[in-house]
Amino acid sequence: MSTGPSRLEETVRQINSSDWGVNYSPRTSPRKMADDATMCDGFRKPMLLDQACLLVHNAMGHDVHVSNVTSECHGCLPQQLMEVSPYSTKSVIVSTIYSTVMKFSTNGKSFQSTYSFGQHGKYKLDVFGPNNVTLTEQSPADYVYAPLWILVGLIVLAAILAGIIWRILRLERVALYLPQSFQPPPNVLIRNAQEEDLGGGGSRQRSGDSSPLVPTPPILIEKTKERTASLDVFRGITITLMMFVNYGGGKYAIFEHSAWNGLTFADVVFPWFAWIMGVSLALSVQSQLRNSISRKKVFVKILLRSLLLIALGIVLNSFKNNDITRLRIPGVLQRLGLAFLIVGTLEAFLMTPQNLITILQGRAQWVSDVIYGWKQWIIMMCIVLVHTLVVMFAQVEGCPRGYVGPGGLDMQGKAVNCTGGITGLIDRAVFGPKHIYQHPTSSHVYHTTMPFDPEGLFGTLTTAFNIFLGVCAGRILMVYSSSLQRNVRWLAFSVICAGVTFILISFSKDGGIIPINKNLWSLSFVLSTSSMAFALFTFLYTNIDEKKYWSGSPFRQVGRNAIFLYIGHIVTKNTFPWNWSPIDHTTHAQALWMNAWSTLLWVVVAIIMECCNIFITI
């Protein structure tokens, strides 16, 4: 989600706004500030997050011109950093988020090396001559991930304690005294009388169950499918991670969106939510068809839900800027609404009713789910093909044919105004440059100046494919009743998606035919994130719905009010007690605990809402 400037962008701005270091003659030593480990010699302000102090000593009789560029900036030329006079030292604050390529030019010769710096570390580069540079660590760097590991440890400890409590609660004599919302589902469930709109397609009989030896009198119970708990849990995990990331993720780079190509924790939450939306869509449409609701009415419900998502997204955008001349039109909910409409329309008119679904015989039984959705597959493949061909072969004026880069410094500055290629051009033409995202994630690395929206219009096509893959997972739930059959097919989809991804990217980050790119919502991005989604859903289904090792709490409660929590965390993002200004801006610790606390508050809200039997959906 694109909710504001990234950690690296803030770091670059802080560095640029600082006073550049001062020169020291051999007769004078640098100003010492030993009492404060975060101070950099020659600077009046302390080092902040993800910053290090670098001293460059010129041991030659000629001026040394120092340029640098982050290693994340693929195909970029180093940019001028400073000039160091003969036999003098100059200091500079550098970013530690990525490794840095340093280029030294002196007396007509140039040479470069790549260095990695740690937060608050103090380093000295001695330049003795061409290809003769030594790096010395004068002060050790912080271990920035210590607070994160502590948080992970606390979560694991809480999970262990919850598991112990869960086993205690499973005792029948204890469960009788608990509120219904806190009671674990029994080993043998009595099915609900009416399936909810987003209900799951749980199997009618658990695999491995056997008939009793002595027949018992039948009990008249209206049987329908039970709600698939793993569906809510998957959605809850996604929303929880999304809230943590959007709140700041402790200002760790691993919880920031990729500058351009690549994949981070922040990049997977949106496609996972789209994927699980597809699973819910399949089960919802099937439920309505089973209840003899006309396909036209099913389509109208999908249309209204899509329009509501788009409207809510625009309203949320206005919280940051209500100037209609500069109001951002695209957004997360807008993208979901349009993609949901595309896939929902296909399923509303083409889905095979469940009473007509039977397991095919012979080899066809292994692909029954695909056969029952073959029309949708053909249409979606055509949509993906059109998107891929346009992206790869479209010609944008002043840009290389099929350019899909970030512009700016990319390609050594030869595609400055080509950010996003045809994808960016379509958004600027349809919405206007002022009505799309003004600070793309590439700006802090590639110095991009063109506005680019990661939730733009053209990427809706591949987002629809993302949702459709979720529909395929839901169709497997409907076609097959055996847990083994379901798990095998979900894992098969996971492996196939991963395999195609590796082919498309040629096992590299920036190479291959179609790199993984969240900004462009590339085909490889859809397949890679869907591969992980299939695998995770298989794990959750096995442990929650099949084996019943875990009730899914607290993610189950979060997942049942996902849209409410998403809107709520956006609205309250900059308000107390969800957010405040940390006292210490030099470490990740305070930001991490604040963001974890903010996320925990919404988890508690979700639990309370379920206890009160309050469920808000669209």
Task: Find the mean pLDDT for residues 468-494.
Answer: 95
pLDDT for res 433: 93
- Tell me, yes or no, whether 217 lies in a domain: no
> Quick check: is 545 in a domain?
yes
Q: What local confidence, expressed as pLDDT, does residue 600 receive?
A: 95
Residue with tokens 């055996």: 482
**pLDDT given for residue 516 in this prediction:** 97
For residue 190, pLDDT over 50 is answered with no
Question: Is pLDDT of 417 > 80?
Answer: yes
> Of the ranges 242-256, 280-294, 429-443, 580-594, which one carries the lowest mean pLDDT score?
580-594
356 pLDDT band, cuts 50/70/90, is confident
pLDDT tens digits, one per residue of 426-452? 999 999 999 999 989 999 999 999 999
Residue 527 burial (CB count, 10 A): 26
Residues 95 and 166 in one domain: no
Residue 354 has pLDDT above 50, yes or no: yes
CA dist 480 and 578 (Å) reads: 44
Contact 114, 101 (CB under 8 A): yes
**In this structure, what token pair is assigned to residue 402?**
């099929």
Mean pLDDT of 504-513: 92
Are 109 and 154 members of one domain?
no
The amino acid at residue 118 is G
Tell me: the pLDDT tens digits for 162-174?
Answer: 878 877 766 655 5
Residue 465 has what pLDDT?
98
Residue 367 CA to residue 205 CA, distance in Å, equals: 22
Q: What is the pLDDT of residue 215?
A: 42
Average pLDDT of the segment spanning 307-323: 92
Mean pLDDT of the chain: 85
- What are the catalytic residues? 257
135 and 147 together in one domain? no
Residue 115 clears pLDDT 50, i.e. is over it:
yes
pLDDT digits (tens, 9 = 90+) for 61-75: 889 999 999 999 999
Sheet holding 79-84, edge to edge: 79-84, 64-70, 100-106, 109-115
Torsion-angle region of 19 (φ positive above 0: left; ψ -120 to 50: alpha; else: beta): beta
Query: Sorting pLDDT into bands at 50, 70 and 90, what band is 227?
Result: confident
- Is there a domain that residue 462 lies in? yes
**Which of 421, 423, 277 is CA-nearest to residue 336?**
277
Q: What is the model's pLDDT at position 272?
A: 98
Q: What is the DSSP string of 318-386?
A: TTT---TTT-----HHHHHHHHHHHHHHHHHHHPPPGGG--PPSGGGGGGHHHHTTHHHHHHHHHHHHH
Whether residue 175 is found in the same domain as residue 298: no
| Average pLDDT over every residue of 130-148 | 91
- Of 366 and 601, the structure prediction assigns the larger pLDDT to 601
Return the top range by mean pLDDT from 7-21, 207-221, 385-399: 385-399
**Quick one: CA dihedral 16, 256, 450, 453, positive or negative?**
negative
Query: What pLDDT score does 131 carry?
Result: 85
Three-state DSSP class for residue 541: helix
The closest alpha carbon to 231, from 595, 518, 476, belongs to: 476
H, E, C per residue of 501-523: HHHHHCCCCCCCCCCCECCCCCH
Q: Which two tokens stand for residue 555?
A: 């993610």
- Rg (C-alpha) for the chain, rounded Å, is 28
158/200 same-domain check = no
C-beta of residue 65 within 8 angstroms of C-beta of residue 605: no
What pLDDT, on the 0 to 100 scale, is given for residue 536? 98
User: What pLDDT does residue 595 have?
Assistant: 95
- Calpha distance 567→312 (Å, rounded): 9
Q: Degrees (nearest 5) of the Cα angle 449, 427, 259? A: 45
Question: Helices in 211-331 by DSSP H: which ranges?
Answer: 229-247, 265-290, 295-317
Q: Is residue 215 part of a domain?
A: no
Residue 192 has a pLDDT of: 36
Q: Determine which of 32-46, 340-354, 412-426 has the lowest per-residue pLDDT on average.
A: 32-46
- Write the pLDDT tens digit of every residue in 567-578: 999 999 888 898
Q: Is 152 exposed, middle or buried (0-12, 13-18, 19+ CB in 10 A)?
A: exposed
Taking only the tens place, the pLDDT of each residue in 230-244 is: 999 999 999 999 999
One domain for residues 79 and 155:
no
pLDDT at 574: 85
Q: Is the pLDDT of residue 593 over 90?
A: yes
**Which of 545, 536, 547, 507 is closest to 524 using CA atoms?**
507
Q: What is the mean pLDDT of residues 464-483?
A: 95
In a domain, 211, yes or no: no
* Same domain assignment for residues 404 and 514: yes
Does 23 score more than 90 pLDDT? no
177 and 193 share one domain: no
CA–CA gap between residue 173 and residue 175 (Å, rounded): 6
Q: Which residue is listed with tokens 């210590």?
A: 146
Asked if the structure places residue 30 within a domain, the reply is yes
What SS3 state is found at 285? Answer: helix
Same domain, yes or no, for 486 and 567?
yes
Strand partners, 261: 517
Element (H, E) at 138: strand 132-139
Residue 210 is assigned to a structural domain of this protein: no
pTM of the model: 0.85
Total number of domains in the chain? 3
Domain that holds residue 117: 7-142
pLDDT for 6 equals 53
Residue 364: predicted pLDDT: 74
Q: What is the mean pLDDT of residues 19-40?
A: 46
Region of poorest pLDDT, from 316-320, 352-356, 461-465? 352-356
One domain for residues 287 and 172: no
pLDDT value, residue 196: 38
> At 43, is the pLDDT very low, low, confident or very high (cuts 50, 70, 90)?
confident
* pLDDT at residue 26, as a whole number: 38
For residue 112, with 0-12 CB atoms within 10 Å meaning exposed, 13-18 middle and 19 or more buried, which class applies? middle
> Residue 98: what residue type?
Y
Residue 276 and residue 137 in one domain: no
Q: Over 90: is that where the pLDDT of 184 sits? A: no
> Looking at the structure, do residues 308 and 354 belong to the same domain, yes or no?
yes
Q: pLDDT tens digits, residue range 262-284?
A: 999 999 999 999 999 999 999 99
**What's the DSSP call for residue 24?**
B
Is residue 408 scored above 90 in pLDDT? yes
Contact predicate 287/253, CB 8 Å: no
pLDDT at 554 over 70: yes
Q: How far apart are CA 227 and CA 198, in angstroms?
A: 8
